Amino acid sequence: MKARIKFRKYGCMKFIGHLDIMRFFQKVMRRADIPIAFTGGFSPHMIMSFANPLGVGLTSDGEYFDIELTDKIDMELAVERMNQVSVEGIDIVNMVPISDDKKQTGMSIVAAADYLSSLKSGTFPEDWKERVALFMEQPAITVLKKSKKSEKEVDIKPMIYKFEVRDESVYMQVATGSVENLKPELVMQALCEFLSVDLETVSFAHHRLEVYANIGTDGKNQFVGLDQVSA
């Protein structure tokens, strides 16, 4: 049987990259005595897959990974045990049973994510909150996307589902996953251009709030948290 584990990542743990977080959880599984399944062969490894890697420097309230279990377990108790052997900055929120269907893995159903982005250093123009409303009224939001190999102009507007001011931060819901993936860094880069703020003078803290699957039909989006997808 399979299960999905939701966790929070905060504080200094934001400096631990995705691969090391995976290694961390492999050791959590052993310390908490979770009956996780292994692949076969001479160098067996745990059957564990992460829904969507979080970049270094980001914090999150909604990170997910799926595991395969060899025995039925009390999931609430397992969460307690995992928290006992975790560190400050990684809290296990819940563990839920999920479908065995390969198409239903966290990785394949991720469709969107919520982020809060706030200024860590530098300043915005005084009227920035009013102008944020106009940001989404642009016909297109083109940014220069730089990769290791190329640079290209992309319109990111279709990938932004929600965008608004929340207190001193910007809240956004954006496309996430293997089909379309928009990072909050790129959205804030576009916002800076829109506000005529020099990107070099500001830095942001990005916090992921939740990661969603899309259970809507007929091309309509209906997002639910990955732990709300019924088994």
Partner 1 sequence: MRKLALSDDILLKIEKPARYIGNEVNSVMKNKDEIDVRFAFVFPDVYEIGMSHLGIQILYDMLNRRDDVWCERVYSPWTDLDKIMREENIPLFALESQDAIKDFDFIGITIQYEMCYTNILQVLDLAQIPMFAKDRSEEHPIVIGGGPCTYNPEPLADFFDIFYIGEGETELYNLMDQYKEWKVSGKSRKEFLEMAAEIPGLYVPSFYDVAYKEDGTICAFTPNNAHAKPVIKKQIVMDVSDTYYPEKPVVPFIKATQDRVVLEIQRGCIRGCRFCQAGMLYRPTRERDVEVLKDYAYKMLKYTGHEEISLSSLSSSDYSKLQELVTFLIDEFKEKSINISLPSLRIDAFSLDVMSKVQDVRKSSLTFAPEAGSQRLRNVINKGLTEEIILEGAGQAFEGGWTRVKLYFMLGLPTETEEDMKSIAHLAEKIAKRYYEIPKDQRNGKCQIVASTSFFIPKPFTPFQWATMLNKEDYIEKANIVNHEMKAQLNHKSLKYNWHEADVTVLEGVFARGDRRVSKVLLEAYKLGCIYDSWGEHFRYDLWMQAFENTGVDVAFYNLRERDLDEILPWDFIDIGVSKEFLKREWKNALAEKVTPNCRMQCAGCGAMNFGGGVCFES
Any contact of residue 83 with partner 1 (CB under 8 A)? no
- How many residues sit in the footprint of partner 1 (CB under 8 A)? 29
Q: Is 43 in the site for partner 1 (CB under 8 A)?
A: yes
Between 24 and 124, whose beta carbon lies closer to partner 1?
Answer: 24
Q: Report the residue from 3, 13, 79, 95 that binds partner 1 according to the rule CB under 8 A.
A: 13
Cβ 53 to partner 1, closest distance in Å? 15
Nearer to partner 1, 15 or 216 (CB): 15
56 lies in the binding site for partner 1 (CB under 8 A): yes
What span, in angstroms and rounded, lies between the C-alpha atoms of 98 and 118? 34
In the bound complex, what is the minimum distance in angstroms from residue 47's beta carbon to partner 1?
A: 11
In angstroms, what CA-CA distances link 22 with 27, 82, 86? 9, 14, 13
Indicate whether 186 belongs to the interface with partner 1 (CB under 8 A): no
φ, ψ for residue 126 (rounded to 5)? -60, -35
Other Cβ atoms closer than 10 A to 87: 12
Examine residue 27 and tell whether it contacts partner 1 (CB under 8 A): yes
Nearer to partner 1, 38 or 166 (CB): 38
**Structure-token pair, residue 181:** 């993936």
| Chain centroid, CA 89 distance in Å | 16
In the structure encoding, which two tokens stand for residue 88, read together? 């400050």
Considering only 8, 18, 26, 107, the residue that binds partner 1 (CB under 8 A) is: 26
**C-beta of 71 vs 218, nearer to partner 1:** 71
Query: Do residues 191 and 135 make contact, with C-beta atoms less than 8 angstroms apart?
Result: yes
Closest CB to partner 1 among residues 85, 132: 85
**Residue 84 to residue 82: CA distance in whole angstroms:** 5
Subset of 131-160 contacting partner 1 (CB under 8 A): none
State which residue, 73 or 136, has the beta carbon closest to partner 1: 73
Q: Check binding of 57 to partner 1 (CB under 8 A).
A: yes
SS (H, E, C) 153-206: EEECHHHEEEEEEECCEEEEEEECCCCCCCCHHHHHHHHHHHCCCCHHHCEEEE
Among 1, 48, 73, 85, binds partner 1 (CB under 8 A): 85
Cβ–Cβ under 8 Å, residues 36 and 45: no
| H helix or E strand, kind and range, residue 39 | none
Q: Which residues make up the interface to partner 1 (CB under 8 A)? A: 11-13, 15-17, 20, 23-24, 26-31, 38, 42-44, 56-57, 85, 87-89, 120-121, 203, 205
